[in-house]
């Protein structure tokens, strides 16, 4: 999404309660080693990379009220007006996880986002591979994930639109329209409560994943992600680096987190990274991610 020219705090939006967040999330009461909230920064992911280089501990969290240079995939801007959304990054240093399994943290984040949207905010939500949370009957974009390898681990960034975005925040061509939890009838827009729910859910998923040494099948992560993923069963166009693309039916997410596309005329291909455009449900294929109520 493009950056709006400017925005004031939405009506009724409360500042994040840093003391409440620390009391519920940071050791000894919670699973995180440190948590800070800043009023404004360029990018929470960029800041955590610096902290990682300085020796920050596993499960260090940084949340911003506002980002001036928020980033999505492929260095795209992420709209981050003050108090409108939840902009949170977490440093994960999972000992014993093979490096090739570290990218699976994006799947952990996606599952945590869906469960938070559904259970805490009461909003119908699904996932669009690889990193988008789609909400409401129109499946508009409500959140995104950016996972980046860092010093000894991964910096995992999540951005959620909680309150309505400014009118001049528009999607790029091929992207879903933006929406927010509030616009989809959220039962709560308290960003402190949403942050607690999201981070606790993420920590539980992360703990199970670590116990399985990063194996997405053994810990149940892959099956759960597939349940929530609305991309499966869709006709899709996958836009790849170098102005290449695949067109076909999304038929699976494999154990490495790749999307598997049954392409038109070229058989099955697994893709690590690309931009997916949903075209329409494939004839005779099941729709995934609809009405899923599986628990934690």
Output the domain CATH number for residue 240. Answer: 2.30.30.100
pLDDT single digits (tens) 163-204? 998 776 666 656 788 999 999 999 999 999 999 999 999 999
- Higher-pLDDT residue of 267 and 120 is 120
Both 162 and 257 in one domain: the answer is no
Both 62 and 189 in one domain: the answer is yes
Q: Are 82 and 66 in contact (CB under 8 A)?
A: yes
What integer pLDDT is reported at residue 49 of this predicted model?
96
- Tell whether 9 is covered by a domain: no
3-state secondary structure of 276: strand
The pTM score is: 0.89
Q: Where do the H-state alpha helices sit in 72-154?
A: 105-115
Count of structural domains, the chain: 2
The DSSP call for residue 184 is G
Distance CA 69, CA 79 (A): 8
- Tell whether 293 is covered by a domain: no
Beta strands in 130-284 (DSSP E): 132-135, 140-150, 153-161, 234-240, 244-253, 259-263, 267-271, 275-281
- Tell whether 116 is covered by a domain: yes
Both 133 and 268 in one domain: the answer is no
**What CATH number has the domain bearing residue 153?**
3.30.930.10
Both 208 and 64 in one domain: the answer is yes
Q: Are 226 and 253 in contact (CB under 8 A)?
A: yes
What integer pLDDT is reported at residue 291 of this predicted model?
38
pLDDT single digits (tens) 6-33? 445 666 678 999 999 999 999 999 999 9
Both 214 and 172 in one domain: the answer is yes
Domain ranges, residue 252: 232-281
Tokens of 117: 């949207």
Average pLDDT in the chain: 87
What integer pLDDT is reported at residue 74 of this predicted model?
46
What integer pLDDT is reported at residue 176 of this predicted model?
81
What is the percent of the chain where pLDDT is above 70?
A: 84
């Amino acid at each position: 999404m493009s950056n709006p020219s400017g925005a004031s705090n939405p009506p009724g939006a409360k500042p994040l309660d840093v003391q409440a967040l620390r009391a519920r999330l940071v050791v000894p009461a919670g699973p995180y080693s440190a948590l800070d909230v800043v009023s404004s920064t360029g990018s929470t992911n960029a800041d955590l990379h610096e902290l990682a280089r300085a020796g920050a501990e596993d499960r260090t969290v940084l949340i911003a009220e506002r980002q001036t240079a928020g980033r999505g995939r492929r260095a795209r801007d992420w709209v981050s007006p003050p108090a409108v959304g939840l902009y949170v990054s977490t440093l994960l240093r999972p000992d014993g996880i093979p490096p090739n399994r570290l990218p699976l943290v994006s799947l952990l984040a996606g599952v945590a986002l869906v469960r938070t949207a559904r259970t805490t905010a009461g909003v119908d939500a699904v996932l669009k591979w690889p990193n988008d949370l789609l909400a409401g009957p129109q499946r508009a974009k409500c959140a995104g994930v950016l996972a980046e390898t860092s010093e000894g681990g991964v910096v995992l960034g999540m951005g959620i639109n909680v309150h309505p975005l400014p009118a001049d925040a528009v999607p790029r061509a091929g992207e879903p329209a933006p929406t927010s939890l509030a616009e989809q009838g959220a039962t709560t827009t308290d960003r402190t409560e949403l942050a607690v729910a999201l981070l606790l859910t993420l920590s539980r998923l992360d703990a199970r994943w670590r116990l399985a040494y990063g194996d997405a099948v053994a810990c149940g992560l892959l099956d759960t992600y597939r349940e929530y993923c609305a991309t499966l069963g869709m006709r899709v166009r996958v836009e790849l680096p170098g102005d290449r693309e695949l067109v076909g039916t999304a038929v699976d997410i494999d154990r490495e987190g790749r999307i598997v596309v049954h392409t038109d005329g070229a058989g099955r291909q697994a893709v690590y990274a690309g931009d997916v455009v949903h075209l329409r449900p494939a004839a005779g294929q099941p729709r995934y991610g609809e009405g899923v109520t599986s628990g934690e």
